[in-house]
Structures are given as structure tokens and as C-alpha cells.
Structure 1
Amino acid sequence: MKIPPFVFRLIYRLRRVYWRIAKPTTYGVKVLIIHPVDSGRVLLVRHSYGDQSLWSLPGGGYKPTRETPEQAAMRECTEELGIESESCALLLEEHLTTYEGRQGYQKVVRLNAISDDLAPNGEISEARWVAVDLADLPGKPAVSKWVHSALTAYAKT
């Protein structure tokens, strides 16, 4: 059963309220997915919640006692995009964030896709393979800081 986008928007709003009240420590992963044939292309997404105009990286939360950031990255890509990746993930960056009252540990992981076929779920409003210089995004797109940071780290590998 496919979850409709409005459910993700509702959950997002509820989580923001919870974060402001409880001020939890969170663990998240963002994933820079490399095209299976052209290493000069990466996958960017626009989510169906939050700032829907913003191009970003797929990802989500995880519990470090249950999985590694690399395992979480692979799981999130499968859940959100229906995309399979090679089992060798590379941790590109680690960040400590303090956003909306919570302290978060954000990992940026690089994965190599096995196929460029996508099957986005309701969490993703749009997904697109783009050049690493972002030149083929239409107009003057808003791009998340995580995209710029991940692409800078990827260029150094």
C-alpha cells in the first residue's frame, strides 16, 4: 500500500512539535547516490513535505543501536526510491546539528546505484539524475546545504 504524500506532511509537522518540546538527540543519514554508469551524475530529490521546492538528498533517521549509517542509507534508498545500491557505502561527512530544538548527528554517505530505475514512494515528490555541477536543474533551483556539502566531499574522493 502506497502512503499518500499528505501523511508524510502530517508526520513531519508532528515531529517538529515533538522536537521543540522533547529536544531529543537524533541520528540521521543523507545519501549521495552515484549513477550506475555515469559517475558524474547524482540523484537529487524533492520531498513531499517541508520545503517542497528544495532539491535535496534522500535519507532519514536511524537508531545507531540497530544499524550503521551505511545500512540506514541503503534502507532509506530502497524505501524512498525503490533503488538498489552496491553494498559498499562510503561515509563522506559527519555533522553535529542543532535544528528545531534537537541535537542531531547527521552522516552523509555515498552509495553507488546498481540501476537508474526509480520507484519513488509518497515521501518523494520528484527525483532526478543530475550532473554534479547541478547545471541541468531547471531555472535557479533551491538546493539544500547537504547537497553542496556532499558534492564537495565527493569531489575530494
Structure 2
Amino acid sequence: MRGDGDGWVFASDGSRRWGRHGAAGLLLRAPGPSGHATVLLQHRAGWSHHGGTWALPGGAIDSHESPAGAAVREAGEEAGIAGESLTVRGERVTWTEDSGWSYTTVVADAAAQLDTVPNGESTELRWVAEDDVESLPLHPSFAESWPALRSVPVRAVLGPDVDEVPPRTVDLGERGFGWIVAVVTTDRVEETVDASRAAESAVGTTVVITADESVRRAVSPALAAEL
């Protein structure tokens, strides 16, 4: 069924973009066999725009949809991914045009690599290790946005209000996205603060994950991430 977002938008230079209300794609992460981050990529059918390249499942946003809603819907249509099997962690506007058209990359994760069912817009769907993404012939727009979307390894310090291992993908705001590779648990605010201060001088990226405002105030704002 065609949505009211289907249609081309033309820029001043005559180039065109799909989606009358903009477009969105889903960057879905899941742990690989060794726990490293993998992303689901779509090998675009030859007849499509930039056919033969690799990119994200996605498409036009309908007038009643949010970018996240459109991206999850498109992943269902193009990859057979059920919305309840993933959790959205953040989004970024990764492309804009002078026409007002924009593309939003919606970042989500799943507990494991999900089975996929390609439709006619794909020749293949593949879970790809993040380190291997740039070895593929990428859609030009995705290639340009990828460096800001790929994750960095993160060490997570859990505040005393967090009693389970958090999601693997963490939205780091202006710093991009993190992938949790190690977890430190704490039982008291003082322990959380001490662990975060020790981490500030360590190599790599560390975040304190908590919904407790007192803990967030007590640690470096740059280290705090809300669960």
C-alpha cells in the first residue's frame, strides 16, 4: 500500500530525493558471535536508486509518522524485522537539502542478530561487523554519514539504581554512539563517583548509566548517560 509520503522532492540543482515528507532509515545493531557490534545492511536491488550499493533499510516518511515510526515500519517491510524485537536508542538527521527534504537515521539495537526476510528492494540482507562496513561499496549518502554513526567501545559504570545489564547501544549525544564492552556495577553513590573519576583518566570512553538525578549531579556531566 502506498503512503502519502511516496513521491520525489526536487532540489534547486535538479537532483531528486525520495519522500515528500523526508525519509528515514534504521541502523540496527546486535552483538556478533564474539559480542562485537554488528549492523544490519541492505544490498540494494539493481533497479533502485544507487542500486548495487549497501545501505540501511528505509524509505519515505508518511505525514502521520515520526522518523522512528517510519524507519521501524520500513525495516518490517524490507527486512521482515518485527518492531517489538528491537528498541530505538536515538536518531540523527544525517542529510538535508535546500528543498527542505531531510533524511533521519534511527539507531536501534536488538538482543541478538535477527532473522531477516528481504523483499524486492533488496538482493541481500546481511549482518556486518562494524569494522567491515567500509569495505563494502556503500550508498554515497550512507558512506558520508557512517563515520558519525558507527559506535565506539564503551565501559559502563552502573549506578546503584540500575540492577541489570543495560542496552548495548548508548546514545552519547554529540559524541555519537557507544557499544558497551565492559560493565562495572556499584552499590552506593560514592562507589559510582569513585569509579567514574577513575575512568576519566583511563583509555577509552566510559559512561555512568543511571536515572538517579543525585548520581548524575555527582559525576562528570560528560560521563552521565540516562538508562
The answer to whether the superposition gives a TM-score over 0.5 is yes
Superposition deviation, residue 96 in structure 1: 4.7
Equivalent in the alignment of 2:192? none
- Residue 92 of structure 2: SS of its match in structure 1? strand
Bigger RCO of structures 1 and 2 (CA < 8 A, at least 6 apart): 1
Q: 2:137 aligns with which of 135, 138, 142?
A: 142
Other-structure match for 2:41: 44
d(CA) in 2 for partners of 1:154 and 1:71?
A: 20
Identity %: 25
In 2 relative to 1, CA 61–132 (structure 1 residues): closer, same or farther, beyond 3 Å?
same
- Partners of 2:29 and 2:118 in 1: CA distance: 17
Unaligned runs of 5+ in 2: 1-6, 152-175, 180-224
SS across alignment from 2:21: strand
Equivalence map 1:1-157=2 (5 Å): 19=10, 20=14, 26-35=21-30, 38=35, 40-48=37-45, 49-63=48-62, 65-85=63-83, 86=85, 88-98=87-97, 102-113=99-110, 116-134=114-132, 140-143=135-138, 144-151=143-150, 153-155=176-178
- Give TM-score scaled by structure 1 length: 0.69
Give the Cα separation in 1 of the matches to 2:67 and 2:26. Answer: 10
Distance in structure 2 (CA, Å) of the matches to 1:134 and 1:44: 11
Please tell me whether the aligned partners of residues 96 and 103 of structure 1 are also in contact (alpha carbons under 8 angstroms): no
Structure 2 counterpart SS, 1:149: helix
> Match for 1:113: what amino acid?
A
Greater alpha carbon shift after TM alignment, 87-96 vs 114-123 = 87-96
Answer whether contact 2:87 2:110 (CA < 8 A) is retained.
Answer: no
Normalization by structure 2: what TM-score?
Answer: 0.50
Aligned residues: 136
Unaligned runs of 5+ in 1: 1-14
Q: 1:26 to 1:131 in 2, by over 3 A?
A: same
RMSD: 3.2
One-letter code aligned to 1:26: H
